[in-house]
Structure 1
Amino acid sequence: SLGALTIGVVTRPFSFEGHRRSSQAEQGIDNLRDEVDTLIVIPNDRLLQIVERRTSMMEAFRIADDVLRQGVQSISDLVAIPGFINLDFADVRAVMANTGSALMGVGVASGETRAADAARAAISSPLLETSIVGAKGLLLNITGGEDLTLFEVNEAAEIVTEAADEEANIIFGAALDESMEDEVRVTVIATAFDDKPKKKRRDQTELEIKPFSAEDLEVPTFLRKRE
């Protein structure tokens, strides 16, 4: 009701957690989708494709939580962290306001072709339930150490751009992270997939503010409303 941009990042339970838990989660996701501008759903089952076979249960759930953190951080980093290319909140709103479901992919790579490898990994990430092809909105964040070059940034951006819709609104950011040595991280959040329009959010409510006196505070609310 305040007109704030709201973004949900949630996980879908593992299949082994049972049908009842899965049904409850789906109902919650459906309800939440109508209350937020953009909803990113990470299916936990997809994590099985990016963890080793001997990964413990505790570690698997920690990885699931970390994926959620990456989703939230990648969005906030676009605005909050100074970089080569800075964005403001209006840029993020332009891509994520009232767009419905969204997909998130993260790719990290090192070596000679690290930027291209990270970009390809991001758009083909196991965390993506479908391809980003057809997305009308894209948030693209490229992060690397001090040795990140302009050529690498351009190369990664081109790979992601070519995979998106020709008319897609692409918001791009590039930042430095001194802790990343010989690594590049590419995060892609794709929005505006739905063919049918998302339900319109409730209209904003304007509250009329009236002055009051100290005496009014001694009068019960239901009596003040009658006056």
Structure 2
Amino acid sequence: MTDKIFSSQDEARRLIVAESAAIAAIAAQIDDSFDEAVEKLLALAGKVVVIGSGTSGAIARRLAHLLSVCGTPAFFLIAADGLHGTVGAVGGGDLVIAISKGGESAELTNFVQLAKDRGAESIALTANVESPLGRLVDLAILVDSSAADPGGVIAMGSTLATAAWGDAFAMALMNRRGYSWESVLHSHPGGAVGAHADELLSNVDNHSIGV
């Protein structure tokens, strides 16, 4: 029994180390496409819509939330539902961010195509910029850490790395917009953050938004 417990612990440590390395590797993939995406959102007149399916859908929902927290209003839509009418929420002046490791999910490419038909711009975060999704969007951004996924199938390390890319993106936009910590806390009155807003505000330099 003891050997099994230690074996499980060792396996857990190996997975966590591999996922940590996957996240760190994303830093080397940050290039001019990151700046291009920032400029697109800063110039945007309309809405930001974030889509994804499966585990990437969970990361897409997280990104939409954190963009909003950091001063770039965004919302998550279920891509498959979009094919049953909710793509009608997207129009000219809007921008769709699609998250897909392989870039081959039909519901995502179909959603993006409909959004483009309606005048929206599009960005993809994907490990395969030559995929159907990568070729369809206006800007395909490489976010590739597939080696950290168990069996090359279960999207664990890759989605954590994509989430880290999104965190950096949200903070870059926050910094460029000059979105203040007062504004962040004003939109977050709930939970421990809201309960300790004054204390938290006193501990940050409101003129230096970066980490």
Higher normalized helix content (fraction of residues): 2
TM-score (norm 1): 0.28
In terms of fraction of residues, the more strand-rich structure is 1
